[in-house]
A and B are shown apart, each in its own frame.
Chain A
Amino acid sequence: MRKYYLNYLDELESEAIFVLREVWAQFDNPVILFSGGKDSIVVAHLAKKAFYPSKIPFPLMHVDTGHNFPETIKFRDDTIKELGVQLIVGSVQESIDQGRVAEEQGKNATRNALQITTLLDAIEYNKIDCAIGGGRRDEEKARAKERFFSHRDDFGQWDPKNQRPELWNIFNGKHFEGEHFRAFPISNWTEMDVWNYIKRENIAIPSLYFAHEREVVWRQESWIPNSEYLVLEDHEEIVTKKIRFRTLGDITITGGIESDADTLEKIADEVSGMRKTERGNRSDDKRSESAMEDRKRQGYF
């Protein structure tokens, strides 16, 4: 007899497609937040499937900190070309030049928190009423409380204690002028699910995820890549290692791990044996126990 049930990856895919179509039906002007990282790549892939044979009916938006891996920017531009969609860029450098935000000072200064202002400005300027993100609930404890449709007030803020209840698969995207939503189609996916899906679908991802030789420095328990923004401490030295990245953020804060995994199969195998969370290599999350919650409340991804 024929089976009439889906396996877990098909069920997750179907759920994400359902969410993406709901966004399109309920909002006037949605965008996909696209960083060039694996999660936003998977979301763009799912959007391609959700609206086929139509093109993805909304733009991709990139919040550009200026501290990018060059590989990520190339990948972003290739993706835009392949999907035939519009790209909107929000530039942190412009926010700094306009005096909207000030560069962080000190030894571990990053542009991570500055993205919040740029993101919210870009949302306001482009009249975006829903920004679709690749956030997953397994990433971090504040994200474990996220809804699929997550409300932001007219200051772009998240109020985690006063969220709309979300029952069954009925999503309430109603909002007033000036407010917006974040939507998270892959809420229920884990890091492992994402890799298994990328492998199954053979989705193209930036070369940074595969093991490669790179100049790095050991800082905060991970290998930080050498770049024009890197300021060396006295005791630090640049070495060449075979590494790969588990997540991609700014080149200044994204740490790599030593690895020989240079194919999707090897990466999936490696991830399944990992004993540390992927965000463990992100110094933006190490600042305090509620670093993510605090940023999310202000309007972070």
Chain B
Amino acid sequence: MEWETVIGLEVHVQLLTKSKLFSGSSTRFGAEPNTQACAVDIALPGVLPVMNKEAARMAVKFGLAVGATINRRSVFARKNYFYPDLPKGYQISQYELPVVQLGRLVIDVDGERKEIGITRAHLEEDAGKSLHEEFEGLTGIDLNRAGTPLLEIVSEPDMRSAREAVAYLKKLHVLVRYLGICDGNMQEGSFRCDANVSVRPKGQHAFGTRAELKNINSFRFVEKAIEYEIARQIDLIEGGGKVVQETRLYDSVRNETRSMRSKEEAHDYRYFPDPDLLPLQLEAGFIEETAKSLPELPDAKRERFVREYGLTAYDAEVLTGAHEMADYYEAAVGAAPGQSKLTANWVIGDLSGYLNRDNLEVAAAPVTADMLAGLIRRIADNTISGKIAKEIFEAMWGGEGDADAVIEKKGLRQITDGSAIERAIEDIMARNPKQLEQYRCGQEKLFGFFVGQVMKATQGKANPAQVNELLRKKLSGTPA
């Protein structure tokens, strides 16, 4: 039988507010345990939550970016359950009336565009962390994270493969970073994903029973976890079994999913509107003002790069994958007019390579956009060859100054004086009579040997095009 996979994703995006969703504590990551938890966060008797307006602004930004409805009135509810890292015994979340509803995101898989619906995005507070490892049979509780604002983004079950799911997730990841509402750091848990996965016989309209996969914290694991789960469900059904609705934990070490709790064991969260908080009311002016503050979004930027800079769709996609990279590119092109393609190659190639090698963010690159543009201008005006440029780039990366300074210091100016190149050629021909003989007898592949010798003699500074042209003439014996 042929099977069809149905996937919906729930993504928890940690918002980049300075303080928590309902208290003034800092949200900074990595502080000593329980040093960023105030009376409200640890739920002392008598304390009350106060909504952080900045979190609402970020949620609205997201909603506008995915073309969603922004609910002018949304309601905070309590989700009740007991757990030691949940100090109040309930999580404040939005339930019936979320701030964002009905948006969409367009993904591109193998050149095919597909729209993925976004059911809703709601604000909620994070729980603390239970630390089971370091306390020898006891559990440590760190409440620094308790109360950190999250935007939970719930998709429609519109994805039909693990690859589509990853494409959606990546798209979302780029978007929230563009919007400046999330740092996207998956290791630190700033961007977390749960996946609802089910299978059904191809052609069947009704959904199969779904499993919810938790704890998948990288793009690679999302793909692997879903692939594993699809195979598990198909095997199960084909073997005469039935998929049960349950929550499953992904184990990335063993690459498998394991049952965490079944539907019967599921909590009854007893949601009800939080009486400590008034409904979140957003004024039209607030939404308009937020709309004005939206940056250019990834899709628009990509299309503009193709249009404005004549880039291929692929190059534009890569360059707009992170707004910092796109900004870098635009700054470099601005300082090296007319060199958009060459600049794109450098940014995608050498710059990205060095950044990866040194594990640096583009903002921390030792070669600034201006410096790269300086280098590109020297390639364009034939001062240096592409090959020498790589050597200069490395020197710039190492802190030896801008392109002109390196060229000057190292004497890397390209030799474009035809007579100087001719002299070098003649010298080499004189010193290699045997090879010259063979070449002239038809062994044309020796041409490369002569190019190499000339470049070596000129320490790579000879203009390669000129070297080629002059060599051909000289070697064939025709008068120059």
- Mutual binders A and B: no
Taking Cβ atoms with an 8 Å cutoff, the residues of A that contact B are: none
Taking Cβ atoms with an 8 Å cutoff, the residues of B that contact A are: none
